[in-house]
Structure 1
Amino acid sequence: MRRLLVLGGSAFVGKAVVEAALSRGWAVTTFNWDRPARTGALEHITGDRTSREDLAALRGRSWDQVVDTWQGPSAAVRASARLLAGSVENYCYISSLTVYRHPAPAPLTESRPLLAGRSDDGAGYPERKAMAEREVVAAFGDRALLARPGLVVGPWEYVGRLPWWLLRMHDHTDVLAPGPTGRQLQYVDARDLAAWVLDAGRARLGGGYNVVCPPGHATTGRLLEACRAVTGGSARLSWIADDRLLDRGVQPWSELPLWIPRRPGEADVYDVDVTRVLAAGGRFRPVEETVADTWAWLTHSPRHRAMLQPRPWLTREREELLLQA
């Protein structure tokens, strides 16, 4: 039986990894402050990974693979990687496409240089991820697997990007849609990310991998039409060009989820080369399946809506003004 340690493992990507491993019959241990996602089927160690005393609970133990979803200061990754280097075969760090230095030409490949960073003090999310990658490589060498997803969606998504669109179309008849309809989207369903990470770890792969669906897999139009269909099909999509939205001060990504206007000559998270992950067995389900499963999860329990993080998304009042304009 394969043994897996998940540093994190209570929500979204971590939960997807735990569920995928348990479905394979693996022995799973989670280490975090949260209550375990399920009882009886896994070992849960409660602790603060920024505490040397708490992290010592892992000393003397061995696992076949570690999956680390940490987003905070890289010092915590340094501590865990150094502690586990002699007792674990493979350390997979869930990193991010944001670790690459920008601007970068399209398509974005794994050969692009990473962001510089030497201290956690004042470092943002991208810099922390890049520094954490270096810590894992320093401790594990070619046994370090660096998964770099961009947009992650699917059931258990507490960030709320895809749920925002689903709820908008369920609750309102007229919905603003950012054009063009054929804009390429590259993302990964958290369940596909989890499956690939476990397979890659078992195959003892190492190095960095861009883990998002291939070009042509989905477009803005196809995703939003899927959202409209699963929520009843009564919403009317009013497509508004990028420049018009920008002229009216609408903020890409942070205010209007999933929307990134194309900048000619510059790569973003929707201009990614995935040759390497496809060659390593990456598989990505249809966008309609991800949308349908996310809606099923979102509507299964009122608690799931309550899990969504409050964010400064586009208000309904402002959306109506934009539609009228």
Structure 2
Amino acid sequence: MRLLMLGGTEFVGRAVTEEALARGWEVTVFHRGRHEPPRGVTALRGDRGAADGLAALEQGEWDAVVDTWTNAPSAVRDAARLLADRVGRYVYVSSRSVYAFPPPAGLAEDGPLVEASPDDDEVDYAQAKRGGELAAIEAFGDRALLVRAGLIIGPWENIGRLPWWLRRIARGGPVLAPGPRDLDLQYIDARDLAVWALDAVERGLGGPYNLVSPRGHTTMGELLETCVRVTGSDAELRWTDPEPILAAGVQPWTELPIWLPRGELYDALYQGDVTKAVSAGLRCRPVAETVADTWAWLQELGGEPPQRPDRPSVGLAPETEAKLLRG
């Protein structure tokens, strides 16, 4: 198989590229040149935000393209139109944020969607991802595969959510652990996303798929306790009810990454229906493997994870945590 990876040097794109190479696929990575691509790929340079940024893609044929673009849908539109006659299948890594808010618990792929356009330039995240979906569908029709991911974690994460917890817990001492301990989480390891997406390409799948772990795959308690075990620290998890955390003005998801109290946003992110993806072969590795591999990757980097420049840093200030721990 011949794969064109738009990106391919960081996080999800990197995971897809590594998985394709492991399968013996021929991989072409189109990127801006800010990071070194994996060994064994053909590298093409270009900037999708520039007027002539797709010039390097004007020739060539591939069995599939994988696109993780997050910003202006018009960039997906331009790439998809350019490649429509020379690529077999367009895999667009989208998001479950495309559903009209608030999506109820258990929502499947046929739920109502946000209004968006493939011609949009400056829009919010949900409209950007939905516009990207529409751009892929416009050019590829039923050859477009829409991977509606939720929370993505694992090695190469450049958002900082799981890395923040690992680094905080590795420091040891009392750790504010947002409860309840049995809070169910849904996420996808970037490598499991890659495996499923490339399997789907081989099977010729198209259309939308919610791609996160089944409900009940893990809990906030199992995740943080695994972080303690993997790092070997003396951290003491102090489980705290949501009410005092929220009363202190602490922001879920950003100041306490991954955590959301039960409610509309929790239902939207952690209660999705993934029956369709599981039926199509989705398999999610144990949380212990994701945490251990992410910690090992951080150690290889010297403990300092990469950070996407277009995303804010996450994490709770030490003084805020100390105040909450004092009660």
- The TM-score bracket by the shorter chain reads over 0.9
d(CA) in 2 for partners of 1:71 and 1:204?
A: 24
Instruction: Verify the 8 A CA contact 1:103 1:266 in the aligned structure 2.
Output: no
- Cross-structure match for 1:18: 17
Aligned-pair distance for 1:117?
Answer: 2.1
Matched with 1:174 is 174
Residue 106 and residue 163 in structure 1: after superposition, are their counterparts in 2 closer, same or farther (change >3 A)? same
Distance in 2 (CA, whole Å) between partners of 1:54 and 1:261 is 42
Using the alignment, how far apart are the partners of 1:253 and 1:85 within structure 2? Answer: 38
| 1:77-88 to 2 correspondences below 5 Å | 77-88=76-87
Paired AA for residue 153 in structure 1: I
Superposition pairs of residues 80-229 of structure 1, within 5 angstroms? 80-118=79-117, 120-229=120-229
Aligned equivalents of 1:60, 1:120: Cα separation in 2: 26
Q: Which residues in structure 2 correspond to 1:210-249 (within 5 Å)?
A: 210-249=210-249
| Structure 2 Cα separation of the partners of residues 272 and 73 of structure 1 | 26
Secondary structure class of the residue paired with 2:269 = coil
Counterparts of 2:49 and 2:121, CA distance in 1: 15
For 1:94, what is the secondary structure of its paired residue? Answer: strand
Compared with structure 1, are the counterparts of its residues 160 and 214 closer, same or farther at alpha carbon in structure 2 (3 Å cutoff)? same
Amino acid at match of 1:38: P
Q: Deviations over 1:74-113 (max 9, x none)?
A: 1100001011111111100000111110112211211111
- Hey, what does 1:316 align to over in structure 2? 318
Whole-angstrom CA distance in 2 between matches of 1:264 and 1:48: 37
Asked if structure 2 preserves the Cα contact closer than 8 Å seen for 1:158 and 1:308, the reply is yes
Which amino acid in the other structure matches residue 196 of structure 2? W
**Structure 2 Cα separation of the partners of residues 264 and 28 of structure 1:** 41
Contact residue 161 and residue 314 of structure 2 kept, 8 A: no
Q: Residue 121 of structure 1: CA displacement?
A: 4.7
Shift of 1:38: 2.6
Structure 1 partner of 2:55: 56
What percentage of residue pairs aligned between the two structures are identical?
50
SS, match of residue 44 in structure 1: strand
Amino acid across the alignment from 1:136: A
**Contact 1:3–1:27, Cα closer than 8 Å, also in 2:** yes
Judged with a 3 Å threshold, the aligned counterparts in structure 2 of structure 1 residues 312 and 278 are, in CA distance, closer, same or farther, namely closer
Deviation at 1:231, TM superposition (A): 0.9
Q: TM-score, normalised by structure 1?
A: 0.95
- Deviation per CA, 1:160-193, whole angstroms, max 9, x where unpaired? 1001111111113110001001111000000000
Distance 1:177 1:308, change over 3 A: same
**8 Å Cα contact 2:177-2:237 kept in structure 1:** yes
Change (3 A) 1:52 1:86: farther
What are the ranges of 5 or more consecutive residues in structure 1 without an aligned counterpart?
none
Quick check: 1:152–1:188 contact (8 Å CA) kept in 2? Answer: yes
Shift of 1:276: 0.4
**Aligned letter for 1:50?**
G
CA contact (8 A) 2:91 2:146 kept: yes
**CA RMSD of the aligned region, Å?**
1.5
**2:142 maps to amino acid:** D
**Structure 1 pair 28/156, CA: closer, same or farther in 2 (3 Å)?**
same
**Deviation, structure 1 residue 60:** 3.0
On the 8 A contact 1:186/1:218 being kept in 2, the answer is yes
Q: TM-score, normalised on structure 2?
A: 0.95
1:308 and 1:293 mapped to 2: Cα distance?
A: 18
Change (3 A) 1:22 1:291: same
